[in-house]
């Protein structure tokens, strides 16, 4: 792995055309991405179980399945991408696994995303959650829980490698990078629709399950576009993985709870909501400048 991490990256000056990089037709490339998404979701259901997804036995089995698919997913890239590209750049580097620029990749996207969530973070501060986060016992206890491991380790790492790193590297050669940012999340959002079947199976009314899944599709697709943007701009897998974990923790902003807050706190939180979005929009391009992350892959400056 060390030799691959240190391989010299390809640069945008080499004149590589996005549309020419894939040796297969773009239709085949999209089918490969669809197949990879099916394999990921299908791996969750290869085990026969009468338990819900939150049952320890179910989670342990799914960890095994997802780990196998995640480890195999780079082979899709290796098979469907132009071999000439791999002569100039190691596969691991293409999918964002490298050492140079890793410190800013761990810090800057997280800071940027925290700015975007300034409103929800202010609400957490007012109800005292920040004090809990400083307790070592909080982290030690949670890290022993399978649900915590699933939500903040297994899901972010596997989903970002499969649905972002591997799929984007393929799709980006069939379309322009910015278009790929919005196309790739469709696979990610659709992959979450299987939750609807599982909810109905365990007694949730189908209308409720349908509406919940539609909302989840919308939210995960929006997040997927942001995550894809971070991956292409930073050239690092670790950036969207950490942001994914953070967003899983924050969840969808609980705007309704603003009405229950004291007036002064509510005003401050509303200001943080608005200010966070404005600050994020002003800083997103600067804080994801590819030069900060030693990212000189050919598509880095085209996003």
Q: How many angstroms separate the CA atoms of 202 and 195, rounded?
A: 11
Average pLDDT taken over every residue of the chain: 86
**What is the pLDDT averaged over residues 3-24?**
43
Q: How many angstroms separate the CA atoms of 15 and 294, rounded?
A: 19
Nearest CA-CA partner of 237 in 85, 39, 92:
92
Worst-scoring range by mean pLDDT, 78-82, 93-97, 157-161, 258-262?
A: 78-82
Is there a catalytic annotation at residue 192? yes
Beta carbons of 32 and 106 less than 8 angstroms apart: no
Q: Which pLDDT value is given to residue 5?
A: 38
Pairwise pLDDT comparison (67 vs 201), residue with the higher score:
67
Nearest CA-CA partner of 233 in 73, 104, 116, 134:
104
- Could you tell me where the DSSP H helices lie in the chain? 2-5, 18-21, 26-43, 56-80, 83-88, 91-94, 102-116, 118-126, 129-133, 136-142, 146-149, 155-159, 167-171, 177-191, 194-201, 206-234, 238-250, 263-287
Residue 52 has pLDDT above 80, yes or no: no
Pairwise pLDDT comparison (286 vs 26), residue with the higher score:
286
Nearest CA-CA partner of 300 in 233, 237, 226:
233
Tokens representing residue 69 in the block: 């698919």
Catalytic residue among 78, 192, 194, 195: 192
Nearest CA-CA partner of 95 in 26, 168, 28:
168
Is there a catalytic annotation at residue 145? no
Q: What is the pLDDT of residues 118-158, one digit of tens each?
A: 999 999 999 998 989 989 999 999 999 999 999 999 999 99
Q: What is the pLDDT of residues 64-87, one digit of tens each?
A: 999 999 999 999 889 888 777 787
- What band does 282 get if pLDDT is binned at 50, 70 and 90? very high
Handedness of CA 195, 197, 200, 202 (dihedral sign): negative
Query: What is the value of pTM for the model shown?
Result: 0.86
């Amino acid at each position: 792995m060390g030799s691959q991490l240190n391989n010299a990256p390809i640069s945008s000056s080499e004149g590589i055309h996005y549309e020419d990089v894939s040796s297969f037709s773009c239709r085949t490339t999209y089918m490969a991405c669809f197949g990879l998404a099916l394999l990921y979701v299908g791996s969750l259901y290869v085990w026969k179980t009468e338990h819900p997804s939150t049952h320890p036995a179910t989670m342990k089995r799914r960890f095994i399945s997802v780990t196998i698919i995640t480890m195999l997913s780079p082979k899709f890239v290796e098979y469907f991408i132009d071999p000439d590209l791999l002569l100039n750049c190691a596969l691991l580097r293409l999918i964002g696994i490298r050492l140079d620029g890793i410190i800013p990749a761990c810090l800057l996207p997280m800071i940027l995303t925290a700015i975007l969530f300034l409103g929800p973070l202010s609400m957490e501060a007012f109800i005292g959650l920040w004090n809990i986060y400083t307790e070592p016992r909080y982290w030690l206890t949670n890290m022993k829980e399978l649900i915590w491991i699933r939500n903040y380790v297994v899901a972010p790492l596997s989903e970002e490698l499969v649905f972002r790193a591997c799929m984007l590297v393929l799709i980006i050669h069939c379309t322009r990078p910015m278009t790929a940012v919005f196309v790739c999340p469709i696979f990610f959002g659709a992959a979450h629709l299987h939750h609807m079947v599982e909810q109905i199976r365990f007694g949730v009314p189908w209308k409720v399950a349908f509406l919940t899944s539609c909302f989840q599709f919308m939210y995960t697709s929006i997040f997927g576009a942001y995550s894809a943007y971070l991956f292409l701009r930073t050239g690092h897998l670790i950036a969207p993985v950490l942001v994914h974990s953070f967003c899983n923790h924050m969840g969808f902003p609980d705007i309704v709870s603003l009405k229950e807050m004291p007036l002064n706190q509510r005003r401050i939180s509303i200001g943080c909501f608005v200010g966070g979005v404005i600050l994020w929009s002003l800083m997103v391009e600067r804080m994801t400048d590819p030069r900060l992350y030693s990212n000189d892959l050919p598509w880095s400056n085209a996003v």
